[in-house]
């Protein structure tokens, strides 16, 4: 019983030291970068829990190509800069 408690205390100390090195209020991308898959003492699911990062967010890899979306947003911005008096009906595609 006592040895199990000491093991748990040791695990919590390792987790606390690991967490102290991390910045608590960060973006999802920054939190994903903080995960250390090579950390033997703290499994990935526990690291995600400590960072308050859903595991699905850690494993998620976007397959979208955002370059097209960025191109469209730039074209809309250019048009709006040229004609700020256009409303939504004129800015929408035909």
Provide the CA 19 distance to its chain's centre, in angstroms.
16
Distance CA 45, CA 78 (A): 45
Checking if the pLDDT of 21 tops 80, the result is no
Helices H / strands E in the chain, number of each: 6, 0
**Please, which pLDDT band fits residue 29 given cuts at 50, 70 and 90?**
confident
pTM comes to 0.49
- More confident of the two residues 66 and 11: 11
| pLDDT score at 22 | 66
| pLDDT score at 7 | 92
| R_g over Cα of the chain | 23
Residues 6+ apart with CB under 8 A from 14: 41, 42
**What integer is the mean pLDDT of 24-33?**
82
Q: What is the pLDDT of residues 31-83, one digit of tens each?
A: 889 899 998 888 999 888 888 889 998 888 777 777 888 898 898 899 889 98
Domain residue extents for the chain: 2-59, 65-94
């Amino acid at each position: 019983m006592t040895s199990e408690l000491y093991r748990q205390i040791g695990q919590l100390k390792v987790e606390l030291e690991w967490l102290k090195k991390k910045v608590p209020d960060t973006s999802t991308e920054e939190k994903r970068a903080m995960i250390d898959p090579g950390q033997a003492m703290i499994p990935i699911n526990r690291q995600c829990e400590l960072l308050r990062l859903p595991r699905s967010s850690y494993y998620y890899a976007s397959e979208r190509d955002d370059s097209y979306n960025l191109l469209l947003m730039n074209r809309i911005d250019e048009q709006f800069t040229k004609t700020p008096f256009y409303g939504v009906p004129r800015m929408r595609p035909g």
